[in-house]
Structure 1
Amino acid sequence: MTTTVPASATPMIARQAIINHLNQVVGYELFNRSRAALQHTAASDVILVFTALSHAGSEDIIGTKLLFVNCTHESLAGGHLDLLNPAQMVLEIPSLGHTASEEVSARLPILAQLRAQGFRLAFNHSVLESAYAPWLQLADFIKLDLSVLPPDQLAVRIQYAQRHSKAQLIAEKIETQQHFETASRQGVQLFQGYWFARPSVVHTKLLQPAQANIIELINLLRLQASTESIEEVLKKDAGLAFNLMRLINSAGFGLTREVSSFRQAVMFLGLKKLFRWAALLLTATRDGGPPPAICQTAVVRGRLMELLALQADMSEEQADQAFVTGLFSLLDSMLPLPLAPALALVTVPEAVSSALLQGEGPLAELLALAKACESSDDVAFHLAARSLQLSSTQINSAHLQALAWTDRLADPL
């Protein structure tokens, strides 16, 4: 992915409900409402979906309903679709305008491939025209625009669709009770429009990693570096770590089990998908985000806690959890959210959650000790050291190692 998008392209996302005849929400259509989205392009498609997956706000855009996403034909071949859960996604395929049948046939293989992968396809009522006959059998949904279809044409198209396809019909642009009754009487059972709900806007938020770290990750992935090398890059940037854990545990990614460590995330995602994710992240992030000092403090804290856990004879798994605890302990400073809802955006082990939110367990003691090292709080330092049975020499040595390690990560040369 080489497309670059300006900073202002990070969108405000709007959702509009699609409901059934029982007034139950079955899905949402996503819209890009940012000023940058004046044109619908392949790049804007990618940014819209990526931002919805990575959104770090208190409202979950993705949820568990079907997501209807407008696509361009160019974006259908984009690697970002590999990062989605096909079972949840409906790709809205645009018509080609007044086009020759050869063009329709030329697009058929990629549409068939997407459907074979599990994506559902939606088309507007143009798919009922004879020129689009090759696409009709692939249609899972057909949208009927009541703002342009008079009642007599609507009836003809509904009858044709019911005879020649298995697609569910969606009456869109429903703005009056009469629109609803007209479509409903003729057998349409899915509806979308202002009569039911206007699009609701979500001001999206991304926790932005340093672009230099994203580029380093991309270069490692190009070289097919080891899992350990990739994990090291994730460890040095809280934004990278948070975004990856946010993505891989989202409903939109479709995993059946929770992932709670960076190593697991790398193994589950694989180098190819991880490369695509990093490229998308590079495209979507912009200058700004949390101050670098906060991010550096989080990394130092995580490394210090990891080293102290090993000094305290904890297991390697507990040491990994100690690093995650330290790294994510400042999420509330990085995001405009309190710590509990910020932490709820990612999946962490129960021990990490207990330490951060309840101040309980050995990880909480390590966190208290790390904070005492930062603030030079002698009383807290000695209380935590005594509880963990660590000497001042061990702690000070680990602190120096953590600082040196973080400095090396920031300036590997």
Structure 2
Amino acid sequence: MNEVFLGRLPILDNKQNIVAFELLFRSNQLNKVRVTDNRAASANVIIDTYGQLGIENVMGKRRGFIKVDAKFLMSDAVFLLPKSQIVFEILRNVEIDDAIIERCKEIRQKGYQIALTGVVQVDERLDRLMPMVNVVKVNVSELESKELVRLIKKLRRWPVLLLAEKVESRETARKCIELGFNMLQGFYFARPEIISGKRIDPSKLSLLKLLLLVVKDSEVVDIENELKYQPGLSYNLLRMVNSAATGTARTVNSIKRAIMILGRKQLQRWVQILLYSAKQKDGSTSDALIQTASVRGKLLELIAIADRPHDKNHHDRAFMVGVLSLLDTLLGMKMSELVKTLSIQKDMSDALLSRRGYLGRQLALIEAHEIGEFETVSSILSELGFLNMTEFTQLELEALVWANRINDMVNSEC
């Protein structure tokens, strides 16, 4: 199998729920973007997504945005794709002539969605196309506040969804949400926002207390007592243990019995994931954080298994490092404070604080891949010496499948 370099950038709604992914072409020679033929780039994304990787693994039930140029838009290949999952993202350099207008009308009539990318102004060229457009992606990094307000006012003449792209900070994200953007694209959700004296949400504080009890190998009775004060958590625990996946013959009604059946390691993982799904004050959940933390945890565990196949303790530490790597973002606390509170092993704290050591370098690998820094990915893979890019991609797909399944279960329980 040829090496597959497929970037997958989350698109979020204004409550941090993942609603779609942009699928990004990556050159399999230099491990970075080098697009000389946009039509070929789009074709590669489609072939890799639907062929080698499997669309359900890459996107789950969400939509995928794919950049297209005029040649690809005019080709018959567009109608081979499922209209329920694909959004054609028209590049800025596409000349909007009569042929393109007619083609977009045809595409819309057949039930497909169209997006415009990199919009910074509305001119006659876009005016003609706007009636066929579903989503307008505004490059907010190129516009001053007043320019952005004027552009939004013009775009509101059409019934389109507005997507802010190049959102690189929470401050920018908040501003875009206030201005009425429906969706956001960027890496702001994975960047720590440290607010001095910030209080942890009570629901998250209870989960953190429970996690501490499990991590510190406390007595079952102490864990049971903490759960008894949290009816929602107790209900979810009993529901999980009584699911078909556990293979229990009789219904389990005791919290203590549920803990014994599930086991400490699985209980720890369940609590870690639930931390990210705890309801916010506005009723939303940090869906993007759930997804990213889940994938990081499982992928880091799979890398650890490839590295040390028989060291189960190492595998568990790797999973925990991956999931906890976004806890500072979630709770608004410094990672150093969280590490001190959790009293975890030195290799784990080194990984979380400074990306040092085996686990630290493997976490740095995953983070570089998340933001498309493929030169760094290639460099770290060479440094580690036991994985190539193809093998890493396969492990990532396994992690995505697992994370999608876990997150569906978590969301159904919240």
TM-score range relative to shorter protein:
0.3 to 0.5
Greater Rg by CA? 1
Taking structure 1 as the reference length, what is the TM-score of the superposition? 0.43
Taking structure 2 as the reference length, what is the TM-score of the superposition? 0.43
